[in-house]
């Protein structure tokens, strides 16, 4: 992978790598996309996967898992093949609704609660419902979602429900001052909640460097600090940001911000935060190098110091995860393309995450050739 090539969007690279890694890239109809059991596997048959897909009757991705009402609830993207040609702005990732899933335990049966939110019910939405997250506060559940507005600019919306399974009712407007993709909401033990968000290339974060939207992509030079993800504290009602949007600083072992040219470690998309032994773990995808990396800090606002790779590259171009504790064990939810062999038609999975006594995390390898 050429480190220095910026295609202006992750999705052009997705197509290139999809062809390289996925081999056969046949067109799939929308109907076929919903019957994954019949989808041809484009990857070598001898490839060994660590775990099995959790859902097999539709394509699912970007799993955000939470424990609500002592069950595991999963809020994934719902991948479809919309029949849109691959384009460098990711238009073919044209998801249109979300389903919520739940399990009593990680080994239990998975239940599909049906459509939780449909793009046609979001008044300001244009297209592309990407990776969502959910939160609970004061008897209400909140679904946070990125979607392009009618001007084709990614914003983050919120929808509410009295049930973790939905259905969710969207607010009439996006969250003020929100932009880009991949919201992840972490509620600390003191009750304060924080939203982390952002994604470069197709996620448009590079268009917000000045604080205002600029349709031209602008990246710092390779020897300059990388574009950082964003964090904002949530208001008490969880519907807006309470205060300014700040950079999440990810530092190297010498306390210096990771650099743009450090593709193996710098932030790309898919932020997630969990807390373990009083420390805050910020994990994220490195995008074009396909790792899920993690960094540790003493505050939910950062800074975080890079520690290593939590999940090696999976089959497929994107890598996106969540980390959740349930019944005394830590679990990693992630996705790959085992069912389809196509990079935009993914399936969610789960495996145990092992934290060592010194607080570092054992790297997971999700498949072997
Ligand atoms: O699912 C669409 C996008 O792909 C997500 O927002 C990214 O994190 C990547 O997984």
Known catalytic residues?
A: 62, 269
Q: How confident is the model at residue 122 (pLDDT cuts 50, 70, 90)?
A: very high
DSSP secondary structure, 233-254, as one string: EBPTTSSSBSS--EE--EE-TT
Whether 271 is in the pocket of ligand 1, judged by its Cβ within 6 Å, is: no
188-234 pLDDT per residue, tens: 999 999 999 999 999 999 999 999 999 999 999 999 999 999 999 99
Q: Rounded mean pLDDT of 83-88? A: 80
pTM of the model: 0.90
The minimum-distance atom of ligand 1 relative to the CA of 318 is 10
Going by CA atoms, what residue is nearest to atom 5 of ligand 1?
Answer: 131
What is the pLDDT at residue 107?
87
- Structural contact between residues 347 and 337, judged by C-beta atoms closer than 8 angstroms: yes
Query: Residue 31 is inside which H or E element, if any?
Result: helix 30-33
What is the pLDDT at residue 33?
35
Whether 81 is in the pocket of ligand 1, judged by its Cβ within 6 Å, is: no
Q: How many residues does the chain have?
A: 369
243-254 pLDDT per residue, tens: 999 999 999 999
State what percent of residues in the chain have pLDDT above 70. Answer: 87
Ligand 1 pocket mutation, candidates 11, 62, 337, criterion most atoms within 8 A of CB? 62
Q: How close is the Cα of 270 to the center of ligand 1, in Å?
A: 7
256-267 pLDDT per residue, tens: 999 999 999 999
278-288 pLDDT per residue, tens: 999 999 999 99
Secondary structure (H, E, C), 173-236: CCCCCCCCCCCEEEECCCCCEEEEECCCHHHCHHHCCCCCCCCCCCCCCCCCECCCCEEEEECC
Say how far apart CA 125 and CA 153 lie, in whole Å.
10
Q: How close is the Cα of 203 to the center of ligand 1, in Å?
A: 8
Whether 304 is in the pocket of ligand 1, judged by its Cβ within 6 Å, is: no
Whether omega for the bond prior to residue 142 falls within 30 degrees of 0, making it cis, is no
Q: Rounded mean pLDDT of 164-173? A: 98
Backbone angles phi, psi at 168, to 5 degrees: -105, 140
What does the mean pLDDT of the chain come to? 89
DSSP class of 353: E
Going by CA atoms, what residue is nearest to atom 8 of ligand 1?
Answer: 270
Say how far apart CA 353 and CA 234 lie, in whole Å.
28
Q: Rounded mean pLDDT of 160-164? A: 98
Q: Rounded mean pLDDT of 304-325? A: 97
Is pLDDT of 4 > 50?
no
- Structural contact between residues 227 and 267, judged by C-beta atoms closer than 8 angstroms: yes
Say how far apart CA 269 and CA 289 lie, in whole Å.
12
Which domains are assigned to the chain?
7-368 (2.115.10.20)
Ligand 1 pocket mutation, candidates 12, 80, 270, 290, criterion most atoms within 8 A of CB? 270
The minimum-distance atom of ligand 1 relative to the CA of 285 is 8
């Amino acid at each position: 992978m050429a480190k220095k090539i910026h295609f202006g969007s992750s999705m052009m690279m997705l197509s290139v790598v999809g062809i390289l890694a996925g081999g056969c890239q046949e067109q799939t109809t929308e109907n076929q996309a919903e019957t994954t059991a019949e989808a041809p596997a484009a990857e070598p048959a001898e490839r060994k996967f660590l775990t099995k897909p959790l859902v097999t009757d539709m394509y699912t991705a970007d799993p955000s898992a939470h424990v609500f009402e002592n069950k595991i609830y999963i809020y994934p993207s719902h991948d479809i093949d919309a029949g849109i040609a691959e384009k460098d702005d990711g238009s073919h990732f044209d998801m249109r609704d979300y389903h919520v899933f739940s399990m009593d335990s990680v080994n239990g049966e998975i239940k599909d609660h049906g459509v939780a939110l449909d793009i046609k019910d979001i008044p300001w939405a244009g297209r592309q419902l990407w990776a969502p997250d959910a939160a609970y506060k004061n008897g209400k559940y909140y679904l946070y979602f990125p979607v392009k507005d009618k001007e084709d600019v990614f914003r983050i919306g919120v929808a509410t429900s009295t049930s973790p399974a939905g259905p969710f009712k969207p607010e009439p407007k996006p969250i003020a001052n929100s932009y880009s993709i991949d919201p992840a909401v972490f509620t600390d033990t003191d009750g304060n909640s924080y939203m982390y968000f952002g994604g470069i290339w197709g996620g448009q974060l590079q268009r917000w460097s000045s604080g205002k939207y600029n349709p031209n992509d602008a990246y710092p030079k390779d020897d300059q600090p990388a574009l950082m993800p964003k964090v904002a504290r949530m208001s008490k009602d969880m519907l807006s940001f309470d205060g300014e949007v700040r950079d999440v600083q990810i530092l190297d072992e010498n306390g210096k911000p990771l650099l743009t040219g450090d593709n193996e470690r710098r932030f790309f998309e898919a932020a997630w935060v969990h807390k373990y032994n009083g420390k805050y773990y910020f994990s994220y995808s490195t995008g074009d190098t396909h790792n899920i990396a993690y960094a540790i800090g003493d505050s939910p606002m950062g800074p975080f110091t890079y520690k290593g790779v939590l999940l090696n590259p999976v089959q497929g171009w994107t890598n996106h995860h969540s980390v959740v504790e349930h019944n005394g064990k830590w679990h990693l939810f992630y996705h790959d393309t085992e069912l389809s062999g196509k990079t935009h038609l993914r399936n969610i999975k789960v495996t145990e995450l092992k934290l060592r006594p010194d607080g570092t995390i054992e790297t997971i390898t999700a498949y072997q050739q």
